[in-house]
Amino acid sequence: MTARIAVAAVTFDRPKELAVLLDSIKAQTAAVDTICLVDSGTTPARSIADQHANVDYVRSEANLGGAGGFALAALKAVASGAKWIWMMDDDAVPADPECLATLVREAEARDLEAVVPLVTAPGQPDRLSFFFRLDGKVTHDRAEVEKLGFLPDDGHFFNGALIRSDVFFKVGLPDMRLFIRGDEVDFTIRLRQAGIRFGTVTTTAITHPHAFSETQHVYGAGWHVIVPESAFKRYYYYRNRGYLIRRYFRVRSFIADVGGYLGYFLQRRDLPGLLAWARTFSAGLRGKGFGPLEDQKF
């Protein structure tokens, strides 16, 4: 008997992308029982969801961010009784109709509790949207990563990740306090701490918008920092980095961030940028600055 699969998806004001995603899920050779879709957008996407009979549409009048949206969608998906939960953002698209079937096959063959595909940049199938660190250096080269075949205990959640439903009972749901930027890192750390068997398979992929411009090298190829383009994203990224460093006592990350961002902003003589980073990062270290979106000041 084939195990039941549910999709946990989130959307926010991307009707065209959502329509493409839902159609691509329908085209998968592996059957999906239900699509638990959480919509926090300013304009409801119910009309698009209603075009698919198996969509369980959940309207959120509050903007939950990616973290809260995935938490609610995953909980709904687990409640559906599915064995496997396929996590999906609205601007992600499986690379081919065999994507889900490949993930299920790899998970079962390798006895994994969670399996992640490669994430490629739209229109650039040879480039990975999010880097891997190999031999101390970061790479976006798909071919270089594909040579490894399988990357244990590593992966970019949540886009395209296939997670066994009982994992959420062991590690919990995505942390809605993080809103965006860092929720996937927090979840990955919890997987490792719980001894969950997971990894990235290089035999299938999804596409998702990249953030190449955010990666800024400071002291050569081995040391970089992430600098999001908008104040909105920078706030959550810096705050959540500080919070996660404190929560998991990540000494190496603390040293890398302090040294990296000091170097980055001083090299550019950007004192306002340095002060904004320090203020937001320290708030995260102190566990401050959390609350609904309308309470945040960028």
Q: What is the pLDDT of residues 147-164, one digit of tens each?
A: 999 999 999 999 999 999
Q: Where in the sequence of the chain do the CATH 3.90.550.60 domains occur?
A: 5-207
Question: With 70 as the cut, is the pLDDT of residue 243 above it?
Answer: yes
Segment 50-57 mean pLDDT: 96
Query: Residue 3 pLDDT > 90, yes or no?
Result: no
Fold classified for 5-207: Spore Coat Polysaccharide Biosynthesis Protein SpsA; Chain A (3.90.550)
Residue pLDDT, tens place only, 179-233: 999 999 999 999 999 999 999 999 999 999 998 889 898 987 678 899 999 999 9
Which string of DSSP letters, residue by residue, matches the chain?
A: -PPPEEEEEEESS-HHHHHHHHHHHHT-SS--SEEEEEE-SSS--HHHHTTSTTEEEEE-SS--HHHHHHHHHHHHHHHTT-SEEEEEETT-EESSTTHHHHHHHHHHHHT-SEEEEEEEETTEEEEEEEEEEETTEEEEEHHHHHTT-EEET----STT-EEETHHHHHH-S--GGG-SSSHHHHHHHHHHHHT--EEEEEEEEEE----GGGEEESSSTT-EEE--SSHHHHHHHHHHHHHHHHHHT-HHHHHHHHHHHHHHHHHTT-HHHHHHHHHHHHHHHTT-S-S-GGG---
